[in-house]
Every structure is written in structure tokens, then in C-alpha cells.
Amino acid sequence: MTITDALTQAVANALKTLYGIEQEASTLQLQETRKEFAGDYTIVVFPYVKQARKAPEAVAAELGEEVKKNLAGVKGYNVVKGFLNFEIADQYWLRFVCEKAGETRYGLVQAEAGAAPVVVEYSSPNTNKPLHLGHIRNNLLGWSVSRLLEATGANVKKVNLVNDRGIHICKSMLAWQRYGGETPESSGMKGDHLVGKYYVEFDKHYKEEVKQLMESGVEEEQAKREAPIMVEAQAMLKRWEEGDKEVRALWETMNGWVYKGFDETYERLGVGFDKIYYESNTYLLGKELVQKGLDMGVLFRKEDGSVWCDLTADGLDQKLLLRRDGTSVYMTQDLGTALLRHKDFGAERLIYVVGNEQDYHFKVLKLILGKLGFEWADKVYHLSYGMVELPSGKMKSREGTVVDADDLIDEMEKTAEEMSRERGKNDELSAEEQKHLYHILALGALKYFILKVDPTKNMLFNPAESIDFNGNTGPFIQYTHARIRSIVRKAGECSLPELAECQLNEKERGVVKILHALPETLQQAAAAHSPAMVANYAFDLAKAYNSFYQDTPILKEECVGQKQWRLALCNFVANTLKNTMDILGIEVPERM
């Protein structure tokens, strides 16, 4: 039992003993004592004043005395109005470090055998363009949320739904037929980049045709529908759904180029999946569910043949599920995919990592699944995240103004190399070791900068700021870890100390308290699906450690017991930084 658990239980016991107040220890809220006051943890006593029939100061003092009398770990207490501040004995903190420093998985929880899985879907790219900066945030969030849930005991299955069919795919295919004919081998381009090139090419010609129609007197909306290249793309989609051999052959070829390109980018990002679904395999199941909905009377068909769900009674509108030509929409395949995942995994939860522009989509998905009679509809959870922008503004794929993931990683690695060489501390590393270091620094900078932001918020990504070796950045934490490992290596073998020889200064206490808070922090972060809480915990720990390191001798400490304890603390911090950064998908170097 930790001191925080013991303290809340002791306060609950004291409330019952002194005032007959029944209060579950788990519902008591301990707070970190504010820095301007003495103490470690604070209990607010105002909620108990009425039942105790005493002034807040008197209630706090009586509770403090009762707890101190019965809990050995409490050194003392003080009262500030209705705030009861407890000071924890140094011996508790010293012993805590000795007990936990050797645990390589401190704070992490193993999943129970046979536990129902939590399915996390992320990435979900379209096969008409390469992965870009927006996809990077999606992939990093999906991977780190999965790792965070695993760290707190969940059985996680990471899945990807590849959107490999639809009008956007046909746009790239049609443009390639009309204006290209090159291959990744003949062009020297990655397959996903090549296909993305023709998606942009389609848009260029489409806009020109719309412009010409409008100049001839056609209204804009009509011109957009009747532009010849768009009409041809719609016809190609219909031929695809009808199984046209020529269209399917081209589709398979171009998608194959894209899959190979995606795999290379995923490997560079350090993300992966337990299972990959393809929309081309799931949309028919969605169509079956649409027919089921028609048979149940949940859905209805309009005169033009299109199928809809009326959600006006739910405060929304009517939602299209099948177009008048019988082709499906995103919602159709998402219905099918949700059912397939439920059958595949019997999941405890289905988490979709998708940008906040799809908030409405997932409200509709849950509602329609519920109307179709699936009791597990409430298990669908949309992890809605904000958009990522550059200093230059928003990105648009069809206009070719996106930042490709591959190009961004290349730029980050180049910057990491330049900044590392300026510091001149890696000369003892081999060329291969230096290359690996530049890669993990680049990815650490990129991942940390994105993940430290609350997922629900929009963010501005500035590559130059992300790779600084000072401040709230990935490289700062990576460097702190490498520094600690260097200290431990220089110290050599070290045994645990006699605690009677040890003392605790304020900066050491600050580091230990942050370490102590790890399990609770991980649980809170997992409940909020927020890797940002883990990122900022790692920064707080690295910052507190560096403050301690600057002021406190470690290797030069003359007292053997004190030195051994500080080395145990160093090792504890290094392991914790490694584990928390691993949740974020960030590797920390042993040397740099």
C-alpha cells in the first residue's frame, strides 16, 4: 500500500472515529500541497464541517492529530483554514526508492489472461495519396493510446482500416490513365507518392473543366456535378462495384504501389497493427446491414432509389446510406466494419482515433447501430482529436499543399544531425551509431511535440521548435536519460544503502514524489485517453531530476550510504523515463 492509499484510509478512519462520518477512502481527494505551504498532501475538510459541528480549523486539527497518531509514515501536519496539510516522513521516501528502484516495470500493469480486448483503430488512410502530417498525428495518437491502455492492464488490439475504394480512389486511377502511365520503378517515386501525384492532377483538370462550364453559363453546383472528368470518375466507381475486370486490375496494381509505400512509412514511424481491414472487403457487409435496416423499417428508400436513415427524432437529420445508383458511402462500410470487429474480437470497447471533423459521423454510427438492434453500440468510442497545422496554415491534399510524412521525417533527421554535430558530443560513436542516434532524436522530437498537446486541441507544428535540446521537448528528455545512464555506468556496481545513513533534501524529495505519482498518473491518462498527460509527466520528472543533479553531488558524495541511495534514485528515474517515453513510442538513447 502506498502512502497516499494509507493516508486516505487513515483519514476515513479518523472521520468515523471522531465524528461518526462514513466516508469511503477511495472517494477522498488528496491534493499535492501547494508550494507556498509546508507539507506533501492536502485534504480539504470543508465538506465535513457541518456534520462535525465545529469550525474548519478545529476539524482539520483534530483529524491531523488522529491520523498522525495512527499512521507511522506521517511526520507532521499543519492547518491553513480548512486545508489539512500532511508532511510525509523522509524514511518513507527513502525506503520507497530502495524498494522500487530495481523494478523495470514500476507503475505498469499486466493484462489479465483472457481479458476482453480493447480494439483501437487508427491510421485509416485513403489509397489515393501518401501519409501526411495529419496522418502522423493520427498514427502517433493511436499507437500511444494503445500503449497507454496496455500499460494500465488492457488487452489491446491495434487495427487499421484502409479506405481502398470509393470516388477518391477512382480520381487517381482515371488521372493516371489519362495523363500518366508511369510506374514507381520508371519514375523513381515511392508508390504512394506517385498515386498522390495523380490525385492532384485530377483536381487540376477538374477545376479547369468546372471553370469552363461556369463561363458557358452553367451554375457552379451543376458544373461540379457535370464536369466530364467527374462524370467519368463516377462511372468508373460504378464499374468497380460491378466487378469490371479492367478497372479492378488497375485498382489492384495502383493500390499495391500504395501499400508498399505505406509500409515503409509505418516502419520509419515505428507504428504497426495487429490486423488490417480493407474497405473493399467490408462495404458489402455494410450493404447487408442496410438491407436489414430496410426490412426492419429502420431505414427507408426514397423515390430515386437512395437509402436513408431518419435521425430527426434524435436531434440530427436524415443520413444517406446508399446512393441512388446503389453505391455505398463511408457510413455503409463503417457499419459493416463495426459488426465484423465485434465478431472478430468480442471487444470490450471499439475506439476510433479520428479527427474532430468526423464527430457527427460517429454520433450517427452509434445511433444507427443501436437502431439495428446491436446492444454493443454503446461500446463505440470516438477519440476525437484536433487538427494539426503548420505556421503556413492548413494543408489540402487535392491541391498538393500537404507536408508528406516521409519528407517531414527526412527534414527532422537532417535537423537532428546538424544540431547534434553543433554540440560535438557524439564523436566517440561509430557512423552507424550516429545515424541511429539522429533517427531516434528526430522521431523523439516529432512524436513528443505532437503528443504533448491535449488530443482534443488543434495544434501548430513547428519543426524547428520541436528538436531543441532544452525546454519541453523530446530531445531534452532523451538527453536526460542518456546523462543518467552515463552517471550509473561511471559508478559501476552499487548495492542498496543502509537507510540510517541517508538524508533527503528538498530537490530529492521533489523527484521522489513525482516517481511516486506514476501509477496514478498512468491511470488518469488512460481514462482520459491522453498521452499528453504521460508526456508532461516525463518532462516534469526530467526537469526535476536536472534541478536535483545541478545542485547535488552524486559520484563525489563522501557518505557511502547517501551515494548508493542517490545512484538508486538515478536508476529509478532512468527506468521511469524509458518506460513513459516508450508509451509515447519514443526510444531513449543510452549515450549521446
Q: Give the tens place of pLDDT for each residue, 201-245.
A: 999 999 999 999 999 999 999 999 999 999 999 999 999 989 999
Whether residue 249 is found in the same domain as residue 328:
yes
Task: Flag whether pLDDT at 65 surpasses 90.
Answer: yes
CA-nearest of 246, 207, 251 to 229 is 207
CA-to-CA separations, 10 to 5, 66, 127, 445, 519, in angstroms, rounded? 9, 8, 59, 44, 21
pLDDT level of residue 430 (50, 70, 90 thresholds): confident
| Confidence bin at 392 (pLDDT 50/70/90) | low
465, 528: one domain: yes
Same domain as 131, residue 83? no
pLDDT in tens, 78-115: 999 999 999 999 999 999 998 998 899 999 999 888 88
Where are the alpha helices (H) located in 30-132, listed in sequence order?
Answer: 49-52, 56-70, 90-100
pLDDT given at position 351: 97
Neighbouring residues of 229: CB distance < 8 A, sequence distance ≥ 6:
174, 202, 205, 206, 209
Find the helix or strand (DSSP H, E) in which 160 lies.
strand 156-162
pLDDT band of residue 523 (cuts 50, 70, 90) is: very high
Beta strand residue intervals within 259-298, DSSP E = 275-278
Cα gap 383→160, rounded to integer Å: 15
CATH number at residue 501: 1.10.730.10
Do β-strands 31-32 and 388-389 pair in parallel, antiparallel, or remain unpaired? Answer: unpaired
Q: DSSP class of residue 375?
A: G
The C-alpha atoms of residue 52 and residue 147 are separated, in whole angstroms, by 46
422 shares a domain with 532: yes
What does the block give as the cell for 333? Answer: 462500410
Residue 265, C-alpha cell as written in the block: 512509412
- The span from the CA of 531 to the CA of 156, in Å, is 16
Neighbours of 60 (CB within 10 A): 27
Residue 101 included in any domain: no
For residues 380 and 525, membership in a common domain is answered with no
Summarised one tens digit per residue, pLDDT across range 295-307 is: 999 999 999 999 9
Are both 449 and 531 inside the same structural domain?
yes
Specify whether the CB–CB gap between 449 and 137 falls below 8 A.
no
Cβ neighbours of residue 315 closer than 8 Å, sequence gap 6 or more? none
Between CA 207 and CA 227 the distance in angstroms is: 9
- Which three three-digit cell numbers place residue 575? 527506468
Torsions phi, psi for 305 (to 5 deg) = 95, -10
Exposed/middle/buried for residue 159 (C-beta within 10 Å: 0-12, 13-18, 19+)? buried
Flag whether 102 is in a domain: no
Using 50, 70 and 90 to split pLDDT, how confident is the model at 319? Answer: very high
pLDDT tens, position by position, 534-584: 999 999 999 999 999 999 888 888 788 889 999 999 999 999 999 999 999
* Structural domain contains residue 94: no
Contact predicate 40/87, CB 8 Å:
yes
Q: How far apart are CA 297 and CA 394, in angstroms?
A: 43
Decide which of 88, 110, 135 is a domain's last residue.
88
Fill in the amino acid letter for 137: R
Strands, E, within 367-516: which ranges?
380-385, 388-389, 459-460
CA–CA dist 560, 149 (Å, integer): 40
Q: Which of 475, 482, 395 is nearest to 439 (CA)?
A: 475
Looking at residue 281, its pLDDT comes to 86
Is 67 a domain residue? yes
Q: Is the pLDDT of residue 499 over 80?
A: no
Overall size of the chain counted in residues: 592
Amino acid in position 342: H
Q: Which residues contact 471 (CB under 8 A, 6 or more apart)?
A: none
Tell me, yes or no, whether 264 lies in a domain: yes
- DSSP-derived pairing of the beta strands 299-301 and 307-310: antiparallel
Please indicate, yes or no, if residue 106 is contained in any of the structural domains. Answer: no
- Residue 75 belongs to what H/E stretch? strand 74-80
Please identify, among 359, 389, 419, the residue that sits at the C-terminal boundary of a domain: 389
Cα 59 from Cα 84, distance rounded (Å): 9
Q: Does 383 share its domain with 426?
A: no
Do the domain assignments include residue 68?
A: yes
Q: How many domains does the chain have?
A: 3
User: What's the pLDDT score for residue 395?
Assistant: 41
- Per-residue confidence band for 402, with pLDDT thresholds at 50, 70 and 90: low
Q: At what angle do helices 191-215 and 228-241 cross, to 10 degrees?
A: 130
Interatomic CA distance for residues 338 and 50, integer angstroms: 51
Q: According to the model, what pLDDT value does residue 399 have?
A: 46
CB 85 within 8 A of CB 41: yes
**Cβ pair 567, 96 in contact under 8 A:** no
C-alpha 392/C-alpha 399 separation (Å) is 15
Do 225 and 303 lie in one domain? The reply is: yes
More confident residue, 426 or 275: 275
Percentage of residues of the chain with pLDDT beyond 70: 97
**Which residues does 147 contact at the CB level (< 8 Å), separation at least 6?**
582, 583, 584, 585
Q: Name the residue range of residue 59's domain.
A: 3-88
Q: What is the pLDDT of residue 500?
A: 66
Is 537 found in the same domain as 489?
A: yes
Reply yes or no on whether the pLDDT at 427 is more than 80: no
Asked whether residue 19 carries a pLDDT value surpassing 70, the answer given is: yes
Q: Does 440 share its domain with 550?
A: yes
CATH number at residue 277: 3.40.50.620
Hey, which of 89-98, 137-146, 162-171 has the most confident mean pLDDT?
137-146
- What is the CB neighbour count within 10 angstroms for residue 247? 21
Instruction: Render pLDDT for 508-517 as a digit per residue (tens, 0 to 9).
Output: 999 999 999 9
Same domain flag for 18 and 76 = yes
pLDDT surpasses 60 at 396:
no
Mean pLDDT over each residue of the chain, to the nearest integer: 92
pLDDT in tens, 249-292: 999 999 999 999 999 999 999 999 999 999 888 888 999 999 99
Mark whether 29 and 144 lie in a shared domain.
no
* Structural domain includes residue 397: no
